[in-house]
A and B are shown apart, each in its own frame.
Chain A
Amino acid sequence: MSLRAIVDDPNAYWSGLTRAEQGVSGFIAGFVVLLLGGLFTGILAPTYFLFLVGIAGMYSLLSLGLNVQWGYTGLINFSVAAFFGIGAYGTALASASSSPVAGNLAPAVGLFVALVLAAILALLIGIPTLRLRADYLAIASIGLAEVVRIVILNEDQLTNGSAGVRGIPTFFDGWPLLDTFPQTMPSVAVSWLPSGTVVLGQSFWSALLNVVVVVSFIAVSYFVLKRAHRSPWGRVLRTIRSDEDLARALGKNTYRYKMQAFVLGSLIMALAGVFYAHLNLFVSPGDLSPITTFYVWVAVMLGGSGSNRGALFGGFVIVAIREGTRFLNAFEFIPFDVAPLRLLLIGVIIVLLMRFRPEGVLPPQRELIWPSVVDDAPEQPDSGVRDSKAGESND
């Protein structure tokens, strides 16, 4: 799917896509037009728009993480919010000025602390449960999420308790150049918009930096996951998901693989937490509310379990629904307040999805064999692997 292929022959590229891919591409194009329209007419402030992109990226990271656990390996983890919270608190307690533990360390150290804490937590929950059937992990993880939240809420001397942690620096604090980037950038006044002049000032530049952070986190995770997904390692995980006994009989140490997948997924979730802490500059126990877990599960199922780009897409859609419903109130012909209905709306989407497209919008389409090997193979599958299951053809 290189850019070159698109430029060389856009028609062939388009017809080479599955119907779902065409649909999603069309949807994204339409959505981008809508957003540009919003920016253009001044309904959507540029800084707020970048903030939304950051939040969407954060959900995409969480979805990528859960996708490793559930989508690849079939591990049911209901403690997404806990790993997100551990990531956020890990970096906050290391770098914030109000941290009761360490404080004022570089955010890079905070990132490291967050990842280490998340890995330890994943190991602690994985050691007793991953040898058992999948449902035990599910139950234990529900408990874990609450335990982590309540510990953070009550251990005042370690976490500031319900007061939360204030004074978190931005992610680039202490970096050369990037630290003072928002201050040094000039204010740009955009006057050609129909809605009047918009000034892109300091807050715009710092929001842009945040987007840079989240995009780099996603890029790194995506690169790692893409390679892992098409490797023999990922293949063992997918075998475990379908039939763990088969994997064991073929000599695979399934406990070890499940642990690796669980820790890897948790680390990516913690990355999302790190980003959030340096975006919001304040974290509190409320950020660990179980609803986050719920949203991320919806995102993964919507995108298509086992598909990396599906997880990315799902993350963005969830934020679009969550935040988009705010704007619906601008339409006066809708006689009631739409925003509180967003949970209902997400519920309706899940029901429709399960009824009409249980494999998700963008399920994995291709054979997952080490890239250069399978591209050289004489024979290629003439259709997507998963398509047939849902009874939908490619043409």
Chain B
Amino acid sequence: MTDSQASQVANNDSSSEEQAANDERAANMDKENVVLRVEDLVKSFGALVATDHASFEVERGTIMGLIGPNGAGKSTLFNLISGFYESDAGRVTVNGTDVTDMEPYEIADHGLIRTFQTPRKLEGMTVREAMLVGPREQPGESFIKLFTDPESVREREQRNLKDAQEILEDFEIDHLATQPATKISGGQLKLVELARAMLAEPEILLLDEPAAGVNPTLRKKLAEQIRRLNEQGTTFLLIEHDMEFVMSLADPVIVLDRGHVLMEGTPDEVQNDEGVIDAYLGG
């Protein structure tokens, strides 16, 4: 354990009272139409409490930003919600269904899809081929149906390829469709990732640092796309370090500090909050 981790653990004890005082400022838990609800989620790795009674709600049709200093536990929270980590305590609900400790693929079936901070390239596939992994419940994903019902496999594949082509056009990257997936730039890869996740038709999409490593031009495009998709009905929850990006896009924003929710508010409220500034400056 590094020194900073150790001090963080020590801080956690003293912060419980502090946290109680913060509770009325923490996330708004009385939203109307909730897609994702996280209640009292706890996860520790050995002595390090990475997620410390985190609670918040994501309202349908919003873009919610999740920010916090390094080590605040944002990615851990994502991993807990999407089923990649098992939580120690607490509850995650998607569309009213308790998905706590389900497998990631089961959670995806309930409409929650996530992307990764560093997307890995799919070797030996073209971009559109990689896109075709996105759609859920394809008949062609059943080995038996390949031989008993090839016609429905073909029809669905044709439709999926058309959908993939369309969404690539919407993203203005259709010229990449037949390029090897290993050949495109990091920023383009992020766009492809987002486009592919949309093919899975999520109700809520969790984006882990979508703008990291993306050049400013492409970043603008990415923000436009997220906004457009949101207007078409997809709910977003995104982790982002680029403040300009997240503040222009998200409302509300929640701030995570040492594993618990420090506050929730509009971008303006968050930016002018003393507690948030303290958290970022390590106060």
Contact = CB atoms under 8 A, between A and B. Distances in A.
A251 B161 contact: no
Contacts of A370: 140, 153-154, 157-158
A379 B128 CA distance: 11
| Chain A contact residues, majority secondary structure | helix
Contacts of B105: 248, 251-254
A154 interface: no
A367 B104 CA distance: 28
A372 B153 CA distance: 11
A307 to B, nearest CB: 10
A250 B133 contact: yes
B97 to A, nearest CB: 15
B62 to A, nearest CB: 22
Contacts of A367: 125-126, 128-129, 178
B116 A250 contact: no
Given A246-B120, A364-B124, A385-B124, A373 B113 contact: no
B103 A243 contact: no
A233 B143 contact: yes
Contacts of B103: 248, 253
A236 B122 contact: no
B182 interface: yes
B136 interface: yes
Interface string B221-241: 000000000000000000000
Contacts of B15: none
Nearest to B180: A385
B153 A232 contact: yes
B104 A248 contact: yes
A231 interface: yes
A370 to B, nearest CB: 4
A309 interface: no
B273 interface: no
Contact of B133 (A236, A380, A382, A388): A236
A374 B115 CA distance: 27
A239 B156 CA distance: 19
B166 interface: no
Nearest to A248: B104
A53 B154 CA distance: 37
Contact of B115 (A249, A264, A376): A249
Nearest to A381: B178
Contact of B153 (A231, A238, A386): A231
Interface string A257-292: 000100010000000000000000000000000000
Interface residues of A, number: 45
Contact of B140 (A231, A241, A264, A380): A231
Contacts of B43: none
A71 to B, nearest CB: 10
B242 to A, nearest CB: 22
A246 B196 CA distance: 11
A131 to B, nearest CB: 10
A386 B124 contact: yes
Given A232-B153, A233-B146, A248-B84, A379 B177 contact: yes
B134 to A, nearest CB: 6
A90 interface: no
A130 B226 CA distance: 36
Contacts of B161: 369, 373-374, 377
Nearest to B179: A381
Interface in B185-228: 196-197, 200
Given A248-B104, A249-B113, A253-B103, A260 B153 contact: no
B178 A382 contact: yes
Interface string B128-143: 1110111010111111
Contacts of B143: 228, 233, 260, 264
B234 to A, nearest CB: 15
Contact of B183 (A239, A260, A376, A388): A388
Contacts of A264: 143
Given A227-B146, A372-B154, A385-B180, A247 B124 contact: no
A228 B141 CA distance: 9
A357 interface: no
B140 A250 contact: no
Contact of B178 (A247, A260, A379): A379
B121 interface: yes
B132 A369 contact: yes
A86 B76 CA distance: 45
B40 interface: no
A183 to B, nearest CB: 38
A386 B150 CA distance: 27
B146 A247 contact: no
Contacts of A246: 116, 119-120, 122, 133
B113 A231 contact: no
Interface string A221-235: 000100110011101
B194 to A, nearest CB: 13
B136 A232 contact: no
A152 to B, nearest CB: 30
Contact of A380 (B130, B154, B156, B178): B178
Interface string A79-100: 0000000000000000000000
Given A227-B147, A386-B124, A232 B200 contact: no
B114 interface: yes
B196 A250 contact: yes
Contacts of A227: 146-147, 150
B108 A363 contact: no
B123 A242 contact: yes
13 contacts: A231-B140, A238-B125, A242-B125, A243-B120, A246-B133, A249-B82, A250-B134, A252-B141, A368-B129, A369-B161, A376-B158, A379-B178, A389-B180
4 tightest A-B CB contacts, nearest first: A251-B108, A232-B140, A381-B178, A370-B157
Given A251-B113, A367-B126, 19 more contacts: A231-B153, A232-B139, A233-B143, A235-B129, A238-B124, A243-B122, A247-B133, A248-B84, A251-B109, A260-B143, A368-B125, A369-B128, A369-B129, A369-B157, A370-B140, A370-B157, A380-B178, A381-B178, A388-B183
